[in-house]
Structure 1
């Protein structure tokens, strides 16, 4: 079975994942813990790693079952077909989120266009192309995952 990406209403990711599980549909909504600050306190809250996205695994013939959930808007499409996420990519995300909260990052002066191998953190074993080098951060393109990663200096 394939993993598909479902686009949800804003801030409905966790609710949609719960509803889909109740319907017996296997889904994955990766969550991270962040510290949010209000005027009077700080609090740790779990927020989705990908805004408005939930991954679902189901047979191609049962794809319309996700629309039973109120917060589902549509499937994410790529080149005119529903976007398919490979099992290994889902496992990379799970592995990265199950790892330690902080990872050690060493800063090496990279140049724009350099192809580098990430050897620690949630995206270890991935290769990236340096797109931007700034005084405060690097911008890396992870072609295999189809995303852009912004890494701040510490």
Structure 2
């Protein structure tokens, strides 16, 4: 039975990794978000990875050769726990996919007030809706780096501040 796994990629080479994995007939899910960034010329909408340096690849244990993934251009290796590649729950991938707009992107909007570093917030919408997050760092005018308890450990995720609300 096939499962989704998380692939760790080289910096800013997610697109190259996707192309090379698809060329090898792997099914890949690379969630991206449309975000507003403050530029010297004003606000601009840009497309960024939802999880920089990470993407999802669908593999079947015992059928697919996991070892050749490391030598795929743009890829580093599958994310492992205890030295073993661990599948991602299907529900998590389904949840992210259900949040995609018609253009295949998540649309994250700017927030006027930013939460304080160290504060606990609830994710109000998006793929992690309902989870509690700790604000770790501000990333630009409208995004924050949060710590979420996902996949059996604490994970760093960049979210739009508009996705967060007080608990």
**Range into which the TM-score falls when normalised by the shorter chain:** 0.5 to 0.7
Q: What secondary structure does 1:85 align onto?
A: coil
CA shift digits 1:25-53 (9 cap, x unpaired)? 00111100123344446532211111111
Match of 1:123? 128
2:149 to 109, 129, 143: 143
Measure the CA separation in 2 of the matches of 1:12 and 1:139.
21
Measure the CA separation in 1 of the matches of 2:87 and 2:132.
21
Q: Pairwise CA RMSD of aligned residues? A: 4.2
Measure the CA separation in 2 of the matches of 1:131 and 1:43.
24
Normalized per residue, the structure richer in helix is: 1
Structure 2, unpaired ranges of 5+:
110-118, 137-143
Q: What secondary structure does 1:14 align onto?
A: helix
Shift of 1:129: 6.8
Q: Quickly say closer, same or farther: Cα 1:88–1:14, change in 2 above 3 A.
A: same
Measure the CA separation in 2 of the matches of 1:94 and 1:143.
20
Measure the CA separation in 2 of the matches of 1:130 and 1:12.
28
Match of 1:109? none
Query: Are positions 1:84 and 2:87 aligned together?
Result: yes
Q: Quickly say closer, same or farther: Cα 1:74–1:39, change in 2 above 3 A.
A: same
Query: Are positions 1:46 and 2:15 aligned together?
Result: no
Aligned length: 147
Measure the CA separation in 2 of the matches of 1:39 and 1:131.
26
Measure the CA separation in 1 of the matches of 2:7 and 2:145.
26
Q: Quickly say closer, same or farther: Cα 1:41–1:15, change in 2 above 3 A.
A: farther
State the TM-score, normalizing by the size of structure 2.
Answer: 0.63
Measure the CA separation in 1 of the matches of 2:43 and 2:124.
32
Q: What secondary structure does 1:45 align onto?
A: strand
Normalized per residue, the structure richer in strand is: 2
Measure the CA separation in 1 of the matches of 2:33 and 2:133.
25
* Structure showing greater Rg: 1
Does structure 1 conserve the Cα–Cα contact (< 8 Å) formed by 2:35 and 2:46? Answer: yes
Q: Quickly say closer, same or farther: Cα 1:67–1:33, change in 2 above 3 A.
A: same
